[in-house]
Amino acid sequence: MNKQKGILSLLGILIAMVAGAYVCIYGVGENAAGSAKAIKQGLDLAGGVSITYEVVGEEEPSAEDMADTIYKLQKRVEIYSTEALVYQEGSNRINIEIPGVSDANAILEELGKPGSLVFMDEEGNEVLSGTDIAEAKAATQPNNMGNSEFVVALTMTKEGTEKFAKATKKAAPNQEIIYIIYDEEIVSAPSVQSEITDGQCVIQGMASYEEAESLASVIRIGGLKLQLQELCSKVVGAQLGSKAIATSLQAGAIGMMIVMLFMIVVYWLPGVAASLALVIYLILMILLLNGFEVTLTLPGIAGIILSIGMAVDANVIIFSRIREELATGKTVRSSIKIGFQKAMSAILDGNITTLIAALVLWFLGSGTVKGFAQTLALGIALSMFTALFVTKFIMNAFFAIGLKDIKLYGIAKPAKTFDYLSKKGIYIGVSVLVIGAGLVFMGIGKASTGDILNYSLDFKGGTATNVTFAQDMAIEEIEGTVVPMIEDIIHGGGVIPQKVQGTTEVIFKTRTLTLEEREEMMEALKEQFFIDASKITTETISSAISDEMKSDALVAILVSTACMLIYVWFRFKDIRFGASSVLCLLHDVLVVVAFYAIAKVSVGSTFIACILTIVGYSINATIVIFDRIRENMSEMKPKDELKDIVNISINQSLGRSIFTSFTTFVMVAVLFVLGVTSIREFALPLMVGIICGAYSSICIAGTLWYTLRCKFEMKENE
């Protein structure tokens, strides 16, 4: 690239940044398409539709039937948003909250009438009911031409298998049609090709995967054990309020400015390139969140914060490599080229392991887990693109216009080699002490409250109190007056206020209240806000995070961990690297859980997001250390000691570990300082996790691998 091309390249970058920034701020067209304001937001940030269903014909449905219905409804409404919530209210009601929408009638029309699916033959006889279907999912299979076609795969229950075998035996000779009728409308009319006796069949003729998934979703909701009828629907406001959104945006902007300033101060001209690339990253993230119609919530913001940290991390690795090459006497041009080449493996391995986790969480998780995985995966892809291509492009353009002085790039100074492995007893002792303290506090909590952690109503359920005020109040006014009053009565926090749009009604969600607390709360509302007792109603609500969702999250984490272990084993040709990575990951999660127990931080839906963030962050930091160990081992001389190689590798990666942790910590710390209570409860343990991740990557990862290497020797064909 010559000087003229360099100038044109930088000018093009600046024009693209200005244009992108304009779209992100103001959008395009009347609807401000592409702007940050146009991004779909979850219930916690912007509110949405709340629909209450009541079980038909049964006053006291069984707990098993209610749980099954809630889980299947959860899967159904996730087509509208991964952040949709379904939970029990009272003994025979189910509440659905769908963020990012404001037309309750449209949702009700599309959702249909749960529990009203039947399969009918051509003579009008019922062949199957919805409850005879155990599973329905979209799939692909090869057709007669050898091409893939989209289908809906059905699995029957034991009773359904017997019914279907009888029906298909009758229909197969003439290839008769079996109609699938949902909410009194025919949704599919497949013909029977052969007798089906194993309870497995497919519905062909789907034009796309989306069409197949839509039909599968209809069959799933029609297969509910309970039939429901709509009781009421309403549009509810944001749970966190406009102040929370504004302070979060402000915190993000301040955090980004601090990170950019830090990068420039530490890395000089490359820091400027990284800052420009970071701005481009943010612009692309906003545009893609719009393009993919992602529903953004607090856990989703966590995924973005983590990916920003990883974007900075990639640049730190590259710049450190460039400085190391300059220290050997190479030219600036050569150092830039070699620096990017040597940094490639660490960046790819670190990001791919985290991306694997994100993809597994997306496919196997549900609710907030999916939302987190979606933004994290998007952020990882963007962070790799901006670091490996955009930053490199800007660096080459700077060089082309004449910014070639080695002083602008900096030279790595010889690192002092600290013997980390000799202190392994201290490191392990500190970790055991912290985790042990957490277990002790969990035991104390179990003995005193019945729970090992301070679970919020997201996990335990609670009480929803509906209050109709005499006049409309802003959510900030409610948080400043009514919420503190309720907290005094129930002796603690965790009060979530939610306005009903177009009315003066407010829903207060709290832990389960005793009869005395309900009466005291009603009296206080009557005395302080002059509310008629008839305008106050209470209902017991179940946890928003069902046992199935918890199970899904746990399975997703375990599977993603196994996949990461396999990937690291494959890439490093040594399972001990993978095992050490997973042990470090487990260590960091246990330390964060211990902090939750010791500090009594409220454990809600953001707890899952926090743990997932630590999983992604921890594995990335560890991989960078291992990449340097692998590289140095390939250059080992016969006289070199493996212990020295490990210590040298940790010291060479020390700057990266500290700087990356600092920049990510800053983003979260500003969010903690400026955020409202619910955001602080999320940011605080995340800060602990970031510090713990840096500690484990520096002090424990190499030590664990070295110990496993010495204890479990392998054939040296590695």
Tokens of residue 450, six digits = 């019945």
Mean pLDDT within 423-435: 92
Tokens of residue 271, six digits = 């820091």
Q: Are residues 554 and 531 in the same domain?
A: no
Residue 179: pLDDT above 60? yes
Written as one letter, the residue type at 709 is R
Q: Are residues 92 and 124 in the same domain?
A: no
Band (pLDDT 50/70/90 cuts) for residue 225 is confident
The pLDDT mean for the chain works out to 84
Residue 384: CA atoms inside 13 Å, Cβ hemisphere, count? 18
Give a yes or no: residue 53 inside a domain.
yes
Q: Are residues 94 and 131 in the same domain?
A: no
Q: What CATH number should be reported for the domain holding residue 65? A: 3.30.70.3400
The residue behind tokens 């009466």 is: 519
Helical ranges in 85-195 per DSSP H: 104-111, 158-171
464 vs 81, residue with greater confidence: 464
DSSP for residue 367: T
Domain boundaries, position 669: 421-436+546-711
Mean pLDDT within 33-52: 77
For 72, counting Cβ atoms within 10 Å of its Cβ (0-12 exposed, 13-18 middle, 19+ buried), the class is buried
User: Do residues 86 and 50 make contact, with C-beta atoms less than 8 angstroms apart?
Assistant: no
For position 170, what pLDDT does the model report? Answer: 92
Residue 364: pLDDT above 50? yes
pTM: 0.73
Written as one letter, the residue type at 266 is V
For 63, counting Cβ atoms within 10 Å of its Cβ (0-12 exposed, 13-18 middle, 19+ buried), the class is exposed
CA neighbor of 357 nearest in space, from 137, 682, 614, 604: 614
Question: Containing H/E element for 282?
Answer: helix 269-291
Three-state DSSP string of 521-576: HHHHHHHHHCCCHHHEEEEEECCCCCHHHHHHHHHHHHHHHHHHHHHHHHHHCCHH
The residue behind tokens 């009700």 is: 108
Residue 361: pLDDT above 80? no
Written as one letter, the residue type at 697 is S
Give a yes or no: residue 35 inside a domain.
no
SS3 content of the chain, % helix, strand, coil (to 5): 60, 15, 25
Mean pLDDT within 130-143: 87
Tokens of residue 196, six digits = 């089906």
Distance CA 80, CA 615 (A): 28
Give a yes or no: residue 231 inside a domain.
no
Q: Are residues 559 and 687 in the same domain?
A: yes
Which sign does the torsion angle of CA 222, 224, 227, 228 carry? negative
Band (pLDDT 50/70/90 cuts) for residue 243 is low
* Share of residues in the chain with pLDDT > 70 (%): 91
Give a yes or no: residue 235 inside a domain.
no
Band (pLDDT 50/70/90 cuts) for residue 718 is very low
Band (pLDDT 50/70/90 cuts) for residue 114 is low
CA neighbor of 277 nearest in space, from 323, 248, 316: 316
* Share of residues in the chain with pLDDT > 90 (%): 27
User: Do residues 306 and 616 make contact, with C-beta atoms less than 8 angstroms apart?
Assistant: yes
Q: Are residues 134 and 210 in the same domain?
A: yes
**CA-based end-to-end distance of the chain:** 40
Domain-terminating residue out of 541, 574, 601: 541
Strand 126-129 and strand 117-120: pairing? antiparallel
Q: What CATH number should be reported for the domain holding residue 479? A: 3.30.70
Mean pLDDT within 434-451: 91
For position 717, what pLDDT does the model report? Answer: 44
Q: Are residues 182 and 166 in the same domain?
A: yes
236 has which bridge partners?
A: 48, 500
Mean pLDDT within 353-368: 77
Residue 573: pLDDT above 60? yes
171 vs 228, residue with greater confidence: 171
Torsion of CA 683, 686, 690, 695, to 10 degrees: 130
Tokens of residue 621, six digits = 């930091």
For position 716, what pLDDT does the model report? Answer: 47
- Whole-angstrom CA distances from 604 to 24, 186, 374, 453, 613 are 31, 41, 20, 10, 15
Q: Are residues 471 and 596 in the same domain?
A: no
41 has which bridge partners?
A: 296
Give a yes or no: residue 379 inside a domain.
yes
Each residue's pLDDT tens digit, 3-38:
888 899 999 999 999 999 999 888 888 888 888 778
Residue 626: pLDDT above 80? yes
Give a yes or no: residue 36 inside a domain.
no
For position 69, what pLDDT does the model report? Answer: 83
Q: Are residues 500 and 622 in the same domain?
A: no
What number of other Cβ atoms are within 10 A of residue 283's Cβ?
22
126 has which bridge partners?
A: 120
Three-state DSSP string of 413-481: CCCCCCCCHHHHHHHHHHHHHHHHHHHHHHHHHHHHHCCCCCECHHHHCEEEEEEECCCCCCHHHHHHH
Q: What CATH number should be reported for the domain holding residue 163? A: 3.30.1360.200
For position 14, what pLDDT does the model report? Answer: 92
Give a yes or no: residue 716 inside a domain.
no
Tokens of residue 434, six digits = 């912290």
For position 415, what pLDDT does the model report? Answer: 66
Helical ranges in 600-676 per DSSP H: 605-634, 642-652, 654-674
Angle at alpha carbon of residue 626, lines to 621 and 629, rounded to 5°:
140
For position 699, what pLDDT does the model report? Answer: 92
For position 264, what pLDDT does the model report? Answer: 93
Mean pLDDT within 161-185: 91
For position 612, what pLDDT does the model report? Answer: 73
Give a yes or no: residue 717 inside a domain.
no
The residue behind tokens 């006014």 is: 477
Mean pLDDT within 312-335: 90
Distance CA 172, CA 191 (A): 8
What number of other Cβ atoms are within 10 A of residue 682's Cβ?
26
Q: What CATH number should be reported for the domain holding residue 258? A: 1.20.1640.10
Residue 119: pLDDT above 90? yes
Q: Are residues 255 and 333 in the same domain?
A: yes
Q: Are residues 494 and 560 in the same domain?
A: no
For position 548, what pLDDT does the model report? Answer: 66
Distance CA 157, CA 145 (A): 32
- Whole-angstrom CA distances from 321 to 118, 210, 340 are 65, 46, 8
Band (pLDDT 50/70/90 cuts) for residue 440 is very high
How many domains, in total, are found in the chain?
5
Distance CA 507, CA 236 (A): 9
User: Do residues 615 and 553 make contact, with C-beta atoms less than 8 angstroms apart?
Assistant: no
Q: List, as one string, the DSSP characters of 215-259.
A: HHHHHHHHT-SS-EEEEEEEEE--SSHHHHHHHHHHHHHHHHHHH
Q: Are residues 255 and 357 in the same domain?
A: yes
| Main-chain phi, psi angles of 122, to 5 degrees | -70, -15
Band (pLDDT 50/70/90 cuts) for residue 190 is very high
Residue 5: CA atoms inside 13 Å, Cβ hemisphere, count? 8
232 vs 323, residue with greater confidence: 323
Return the SS3 of 197. coil
Q: Are residues 249 and 353 in the same domain?
A: yes
Band (pLDDT 50/70/90 cuts) for residue 224 is confident
